[in-house]
Structure 1
Amino acid sequence: MKILAFAGSTSSTSINRELVKFVLKDFQEDEINFIDLNDYSMPVFSVDLEKKGFPDEAHHFLQVIEECDVIICSLAEHNRSYSAAFKNIFDWASRINVKVFQNKPMLLMSTSPGGYGGGNVMNTAKTFFPQFGAEIKDTFSLPKFYENFDFESGVINPDMLKDLKNKIENFKNEIKN
């Protein structure tokens, strides 16, 4: 199975990237393409720029989605929404193909330092991603990242770890069927 993985952040210290890396340990038998959104930097989307053509990076983002079987991502929450970097990539790609996620099964996650765990961006994504071709199979939000995650051990809260492992197993079972 080919997995496309990414964090919806361009931060070099992204906690969402850390969560994705931790989850990918449960997919070591699979082919993983863990992309960095910094590699998809484009001008801020506008219809004026669109008239001049689409950036190669937008086409490349759609290509890596086309080449995968499933998507695992964790979205950063900035001011209760997507990070500007992710939103820009998404905006450009959706103008080329409205079904950005191309009907791929997705494990959608979020985390934040606060107690809501990126719940606002998660709720937005759960509502809108299916309209853009995401088949969200399961979701996971990790609140209070710095209390519930260790950079060497991963998720350290036993209840949250159990919940995450169950969701990973359910996701694996759903994509096999």
Structure 2
Amino acid sequence: MLIVAFGASTSSSSINRTLANYAAHLVPDAQVKLLDLNDYHVPIFSEDMEKQIGQSEGARAFLADISQADALIISFAEHNGAYTAAYKNLFDWASRIEREVFQQKPAVYLATSPGPGGASNVLAAASGSASYFGAQLKASLSVPSFYDNFDLATGKFSSSEMADKVRQVVTALTAEL
């Protein structure tokens, strides 16, 4: 089984990429492909740009990587209550090629932030629109106060309660596979 995971951020120190990677490695006997959004170069989306260049190669590559997955684990970063600009831009390009960006793959959506909100606004938006874009959403989880709950030095949760919650959503993903 191949789990494709990514944090919806381009930050080199993305806590959402860390969370997605951690969760993906909880799937027994799975291969994990951790995507980096920096690898998918796309210009700022506009209809004029689309007319000029056609389909973006970066968006095509992103869709190709999604197509390889047996399941997806995505952790959404939140900027000012919404998706990061880089993720939204890539997603917009990809959705112009294939509306069902997530290609009917089973998925778990996560989100985290340093603060107590845990990026819950963006998680709600992503979860609410998942079915429109081809994600078979099995579970979602917001992880508040990431640095209080996760030890970056060990790569593990310092909060056993939060570790259990992450295991539960991953179990929901793999229950039907």
- Name the TM-score class by shorter chain: over 0.9
Alpha-carbon shift at residue 23 of structure 1 (Å): 1.3
1:111 aligns with 2:127: no
Map 1:1-177 onto structure 2 (within 5 A). Answer: 1-27=1-27, 29-52=29-52, 53-151=54-152, 152-174=154-176, 176=177
Q: CA-to-partner distance for each residue in 1:104-129, whole Å, 9 max, x for gaps?
A: 10011000011110100000001112
SS at match of 1:165: helix
SS at match of 2:141: strand
Alpha-carbon shift at residue 40 of structure 1 (Å): 0.7
Q: Which runs of 5+ in 1 are unaligned?
A: none
SS at match of 1:80: coil
Alpha-carbon shift at residue 154 of structure 1 (Å): 1.7
Decide whether the 8 Å contact of 2:78 with 2:121 is kept in 1: yes
TM-score, structure 1 normalization: 0.94
Decide whether the 8 Å contact of 1:6 with 1:17 is kept in 2: yes
- Tell me the matched-pair count: 175
Decide whether the 8 Å contact of 1:9 with 1:16 is kept in 2: yes
User: For residues 110 and 65 of structure 1, what CA distance do their matches in structure 2 show?
Assistant: 19
User: For residues 27 and 162 of structure 1, what CA distance do their matches in structure 2 show?
Assistant: 14
Identity %: 42
User: For residues 11 and 20 of structure 2, what CA distance do their matches in structure 1 show?
Assistant: 14
Q: Which aligned runs of 4 or more in structure 1 are off by greater than 6 angstroms?
A: none
User: For residues 153 and 98 of structure 1, what CA distance do their matches in structure 2 show?
Assistant: 35
User: For residues 9 and 28 of structure 1, what CA distance do their matches in structure 2 show?
Assistant: 26
Q: Which runs of 5+ in 2 are unaligned?
A: none
SS at match of 2:175: helix
Alpha-carbon shift at residue 28 of structure 1 (Å): 5.4
Alpha-carbon shift at residue 153 of structure 1 (Å): 4.0
